[in-house]
A and B are shown apart, each in its own frame.
Chain A
C-alpha cells in the first residue's frame, strides 16, 4: 500500500473516534486469473463524502459492485456499522441502507417521474401521496422536479435528479455515485454539489467516484486512491493539489521501452475540423478535432472513457458517416465519405476497443474472422464473390506464430480464446498486412503484461517500418511507453498533440480531468 500522505494521523483520529458506517476489509475479486480487486480495504464514516479515485480499470467499479451486492468477492469481508454482513444482491444492499445512482440511467422514457419511482419502491403505487412526497423531498434537497412530467421530456440533469430522489426515498445511509457529473453541465454539477453537501450534513455518507480532480478537491472529505486493483493511497483532497492527486492516480513507475526515433515521412493521417454531432443519448459530439500523424510515428490520444473516443474511432473507420470528405484525409486522399473497406484499400487498418462482437465475431472461427476485415483489401481473400478460407487459414498460422497466439485447436472459434490471446490475434490480423495507417483503440485493454508487451512492441516496430499509428488509450503507462506525441481528448475536444518527451503523466492527467477542453469551452 505505502505512499500514504501526511494525513494518516488525521484519518486515524477520525476513524478511531467513531465506528465506520461501511468498512471493506481485504477484499479480493478475481475474474479468471485476473484480479480486479486485490486486497482492497476501505472505510466510510457517517456523513462523509468519500472520493474513490483511479484510472479506468483500476478496480473502482468492481469494488462498488461488491458493496452494492451485484458482485460477490472471492475473499475478504464487508462490515456495516461494525457488523459483518453478506450483501448477496442489490436488494439486500438497499435493505441495509445502501443506495446507488448509476452513470447510465435506468428509467422508462414513456412513463412519468412518479411512475418510474413507484416501480423501484417495494409495494408502492403511483399515488397522489407519492407524488407529493416526491415534490417535497426534491424541493427540500434543491432538486426541483415535477412528479407528473414524462421522463422523455426531461434533460439529462433532470433525469439524474429522478434517480437521486428515487434513491433518497429509500432513506439510504450511504449513497454511491458513479461519475455523476460526467453527463452534467457545469451549472447542473454545481447544483448537485449543494445537494450532496446538504445530505452529508444530515449524516448520509456518499461514496463518490469521479475522475474530475477539481471537483473532488472542492467536495470530498476524504479520498481513497486505487491503481491496478490495489489501494495505493489515502488522502485528504483539500490538502492535496490536483497535481499531487493526479500523480497518485497514475503512479510514478513509468517503464520506457528503448526505442529510437523513427524516420518521419509525409503526413499519413490528417484530421481537419472533424466535427460530428452525436445522435445517441449518451454519445459525445466531436468538436473541431484537428490532428496530423506522419508516417513513422505513433501518436496517442489519452482520455477518460466516454469523452468521445468511440465516436472518434467510428469517424476514422468510416462506420459512422461524416459530413465532409476532407474531415479525414488518409495518405493524401480525402476519405471522409468513404466506407470502411475503401479506407482499408488506401492502406488503413483498424483495431476497435471491443474485441468480441466488434473486432471479431465470437462464434466464427479465426480464419473466418480474418475474412471479416481482409475480404476487401485487394489481397484476393474474396474473389468473384467467393471467399477463400484456405488463404485466410494461412494468415491465421502466420499471425499465430508472429504473435504467439495460444489456442487449443488449429482454427478455434474466436470466443474460445482468452482475452489476451484474442487481442493478440485481432492486432496481429491487421499488423500482418503491414498497413500504412493503423488506428487502434485500447491496444492492451484487460490483457496480461506479457501479451501487452508483445502488442506494444509490434506497434513500435510497425511504425518504424513507416506506418502512421494512432493509438486511442486510457492507459497512461502504455501511452508514455510507445507514443512519440500525445494529445488528450475531453468531452469531444482534442488538445494539441505535444512531444511525449516534454510531457509528464501529471500534465496529461490534468488535461484528462478537463483541462483539454478549456480552449473549446471558451469558444462555445
Chain B
C-alpha cells in the first residue's frame, strides 16, 4: 500500500515561502482553463482574455492600478489584524462607515470650500473606520465575543445605514429622487493626473507609501515584533510584557482606519458623491489579497495587482466570450483555496510512504 505522508520540517522553508504562491497561481490558471473548457470555450483563449488581455493597453493598466489601490490599502491593515490573531472580516463595513463620516464636510457644509477639506475628509474617514472597527474589538476583549461574527455582521449594518442615509437625510434635493447625495465640490474630490499616458490620482502613491511604512514597522520596530509575537503565542507575548487586549484594539483600529481611508478615496475619485453601493466588495476581496500576499506588505502589493486583474478579466470574458463575470469571483475563491493548500509545503515535506515502513513502530 502506498500513501502520501506529510513530514513536518524543523524550520520554515524559505524557498517554499516564495514558491507556494507561484504554485497557487499556476494551479488556478489550470483550473480556470478547465472551467473555460467545460463552458465550451477554448481554454487557451479564455486564459488569454481573463489573465493577460486586460493589461495589454495603457487604459487597462490604469484600471488595474485604480482597482488594486483600495485592495492594497485595506489588505495592509488586515494583515496586521491577522498577524496578531485578530480576525477582522468586516473591512467592507469599516470602509462604508469611514466613507460616510468622511463625507460629512462636503455634504453638510457644502459652503466650506478650501484646500483643507481634502485632508480633513481623509482624516475623518480614518477616524470613522477606526471607531467602527473598535466595536468588534471591544466586544471581543470585554465579553469574549467571536470577532469573526461580529465584524462580519456589522458590514450589513453599515451597508443598510448607508442605504438609509442616501435615501433619507442625505438625499440630494436636485437628484430627481435618485438615492444619491449632492455632488462633492472641487476640493472634496481626487483629480487624476497624467503620468506617462495613464491617469492616476493621489491614492496610488499613498498606497505605495503605506506599503513602505508597514514593511519597516514589521521588520524593524518593537511594535511589529509585538504584532508577530502576540499572534503566534499569546502566552509568550504576555511574558514579554505585551498586552493582548491593547493589541486587539490597535489592530482593529488600524485596519478600520485604512479601510475607511480606502473607501473615502474610492468615493472621492470614482464617484464624487455617496450612493447606495460604493464598493464592489473591496473589503472582502482584500482578505484574499492579504493572504495571497503572505501577510507581507510587499507581497500584498503584488497580490493586490493580481487580484485586481481578475476583476478586469471578469469584464473581459464577459465582453469577449459572453461568459458571466461572476467567474471572476469563482477564480478569486479558487486562488485563495490553492494559496492556503500550497502553504502546507512551507512547514511540511511531502513523502511517499510504501506499505511496511509506516507499520514498523507498532509493537
Contacts and interface: CB of A to CB of B under 8 A. Distances in A.
Given A357-B236, A363-B12, A387 B241 contact: no
A72 interface: yes
Contacts of A339: 241
Interface stretch (A236-244, A365-373, A495-503): A365-373
A401 B11 CA distance: 23
Interface stretch (A163-171, A181-189, A412-420): A412-420
Contacts of B238: 319, 340
B234 to A, nearest CB: 9
Contact of B239 (A74, A75, A350, A382): A350
A358 B235 contact: yes
Contacts of A307: none
B232 A363 contact: yes
A352 interface: yes
16 contacts: A72-B361, A72-B363, A86-B362, A86-B363, A319-B238, A340-B241, A357-B233, A357-B235, A364-B228, A371-B225, A372-B240, A375-B222, A376-B240, A386-B221, A387-B225, A413-B10
Given A76-B363, A340-B239, A415-B10, 14 more contacts: A72-B361, A74-B361, A86-B362, A358-B233, A361-B229, A361-B233, A364-B232, A368-B225, A373-B240, A376-B240, A387-B222, A412-B11, A413-B10, A416-B11
Nearest to A339: B241
Given A363-B12, A364-B232, A319 B221 contact: no
Interface string A8-19: 000000000000
Interface string B31-47: 00000000000000000
A74 B360 CA distance: 9
B114 interface: no
Contacts of A368: 225
B245 interface: no
A267 B361 CA distance: 54
Interface in A374-433: 375-376, 382, 385-387, 389, 412-413, 415-416
A174 B299 CA distance: 58
B223 interface: yes
A361 B12 contact: no
A301 to B, nearest CB: 20
9 closest A-B pairs by CB = A341-B241, A416-B10, A382-B222, A361-B233, A372-B240, A340-B241, A73-B363, A358-B235, A361-B236
B239 A358 contact: yes
B358 to A, nearest CB: 12
Contacts of A74: 361, 363
B220 interface: yes
Contacts of A371: 222, 225
A513 B265 CA distance: 68
Contacts of B221: 385-387
Contact of B220 (A86, A386, A412): A386
Interface residues of B, number: 21
Task: Assign chain A's interface to a size class.
Answer: 35 or more
Contacts of B228: 361, 364
Nearest to A413: B11
A74 B363 CA distance: 6
Interface of B: 10-12, 220-223, 225, 228-229, 232-233, 235-236, 238-241, 361-363
A362 B232 contact: yes
A304 B199 CA distance: 72
Nearest to A350: B239
B318 to A, nearest CB: 43
Nearest to A376: B241
A413 B11 CA distance: 7
Contacts of B232: 361-364
Given A382-B222, A386-B222, A317 B239 contact: yes
B323 to A, nearest CB: 43
Nearest to B225: A387
A347 interface: no
A360 interface: yes
A97 interface: no
Contacts of A362: 232-233
B229 to A, nearest CB: 6
A515 interface: no
Interface in A99-136: none
A341 B226 CA distance: 14
Nearest to A357: B233
Contacts of A375: 222, 225, 240
Contacts of A416: 10-11
A204 B260 CA distance: 68
Interface centre among A73, A350, A375, A389 (most CB of B within 10 A): A375
A146 interface: no
Contacts of B229: 361, 364, 372
Interface in A329-369: 339-341, 344, 350, 352, 354, 357-364, 368
A481 interface: no
A73 B11 CA distance: 28
Nearest to A319: B238
Given A72-B361, A357-B235, A416-B11, A385 B223 contact: yes
Contacts of B10: 413, 415-416
A373 B239 contact: yes
Contacts of B223: 385
Interface in A283-325: 317, 319
A362 B8 CA distance: 14
A22 to B, nearest CB: 16
A440 to B, nearest CB: 13
Interface centre among B10, B12, B239 (most CB of A within 10 A): B239
B362 A387 contact: no
Contacts of B235: 354, 357-358
B97 to A, nearest CB: 30
A77 interface: yes
A368 to B, nearest CB: 7
Contact of A372 (B12, B236, B363): B236
A357 B10 CA distance: 16
A77 B363 contact: yes
A395 to B, nearest CB: 15
Contacts of A350: 239
A387 B218 CA distance: 10
A411 B198 CA distance: 46
